[in-house]
Amino acid sequence: MRYEYGAGLAHRDAIDMHVHVEQSDDGHPSLPDALTEASAKYFKAEDRAPKLDVIAERYREWNMAAVVFTVDASTALDHQPNSIEEIIEGCVRNNDVLIPFGSVDPRQGPAAAGRAYQLVEEHGVKGFKFHPSLQGFDPSDQQYYPLYEAIEAAGVPALFHTGQNGMGAGLPGGYGIKLAYSNPLLLDAVAADFPDLQVVMAHPSVPWQDEANSIATHKSNVWIDLSGWSPKYFPESLVKAAGRQLQDRVLFGTDYPLIEPAKWIAAFEALPIPDEVRPKIMKGNALRLLGLEA
Ligand SMILES: [Zn+2]
């Protein structure tokens, strides 16, 4: 069956490309507790894990749509994520505001590619979220290429966390989480070898922003989402690129519930980005990326 997500998009002001569903309806957390607590502290988030229907209600109130997901890092964290099927059902129930991305654990080998195929074919997910540091994998390693092949063939984007990481922040050994897997340069090979796969580099890629800008400038299948940081702290080179050469491939995103859209938008308004570019970043580019119409 084909699901229709984004039913009310024409009326929405923006599409938030990056929203985490941190627990299932029965309270099962997406992450081990130690990680959730540490990241809540790092981001000073107040309501760290609203349930899906609450997220939907809030985005409806804010008149925005949201791409929602969890991260399947079963192997690296030895923890089952909250149910992706339940997220999808919630998006069907709230299809005027919510758009589901799937997540698969790349370290599960061929099963991951099969699962990706199933999530698109049976559930109509509109993309996939990866977090190489949390999932403990080097995205440029060719052992994961069958997975990218499946996603490329499905015609949906793959979004990768890049840069500095709230996960494990302030813990001994950063909870074993390796920052280097979130270097955007690792995605250059993926984008080069899968030219029909749309690759989203999530977040300002601090401390590798120049790498991210240059990959996105070089490869037309690479996008940047602006989530995870207040625009106040965006590297200047990113602000410049977003207003100029990357204006058609930069995407609004918050990383809610870690960052509130209203706060993000207030800080974004203060940036020197041309007025005519803002609607592209807030909504137009996401519509194109997701193959949705408004
Ligand atoms: Zn994220």
CA 161–ligand 1 middle distance (angstroms): 6
pLDDT for the residue numbered 208: 97
Establish if 53 belongs to a structural domain.
Answer: yes
SS3 sequence of 187-221: HHHHHHHCCCCCEEEECCCCCCHHHHHHHHHHCCC
What value does the mean pLDDT take over residues 182-209? Answer: 98
Dist. CA 155–CA 188, nearest whole Å: 19
Averaged pLDDT for residues 126-139: 97
Cis preceding linkage at 184, omega within 30: no
Angle of CA points 200, 202, 204, to nearest 5°:
125
Asked whether residue 3 is domain-assigned, the answer is: no
**147 lies in which domain range?**
9-290
| Least confident residue range of 51-55, 119-123, 166-170, 226-230 | 166-170
Residue 266 belongs to some domain of the structure: yes
Counted domains in the chain: 1
pLDDT band at 46 (very low <50, low <70, confident <90, very high): low
Arithmetic mean of pLDDT over the chain: 93
Residue 2 lies in a domain: no
Q: Determine, yes or no, domain membership for 223.
A: yes
Question: Is 4 a member of any domain?
Answer: no
Q: Express each pLDDT in 11-26 by its tens digit.
A: 899 999 999 998 888 8
> 171 in a domain, yes or no?
yes
What is the 229 CA–ligand 1 centroid distance (Å)? 11
Instruction: Give tens-digit pLDDT for 241-284.
Output: 999 999 999 999 999 999 999 999 999 999 999 999 999 999 99
pLDDT of 233 above 80: yes
* Ligand 1 center–CA 76 separation, angstroms: 16
Per-residue confidence (pLDDT) for residue 1, from 0 to 100? 44
What is the DSSP code string of 11-43? G-SEEEEEEE--B-TT--BSS-HHHHHHHHHHH
Q: How many CB atoms lie within 10 A of CB 118?
A: 14
Q: Is 190 exposed, middle or buried (0-12, 13-18, 19+ CB in 10 A)?
A: buried
CA of 91 to the centre of ligand 1 (A): 18
Give the CATH number, domain containing residue 158. 3.20.20.140
Instruction: Summarize the confidence of residues 42-46 as an average pLDDT.
Output: 66
End-to-end CA distance of the chain: 22
Spatial contact of 181 and 160, defined as CB atoms under 8 Å apart: no
Is the confidence at residue 47, as pLDDT, over 80? no
CA of 192 to the centre of ligand 1 (A): 23
125-151 average pLDDT score: 97
Distance 207 CA to ligand 1 centre (A): 17
Which pLDDT does position 36 carry in this prediction?
Answer: 77
Residue 1 placed within a domain: no
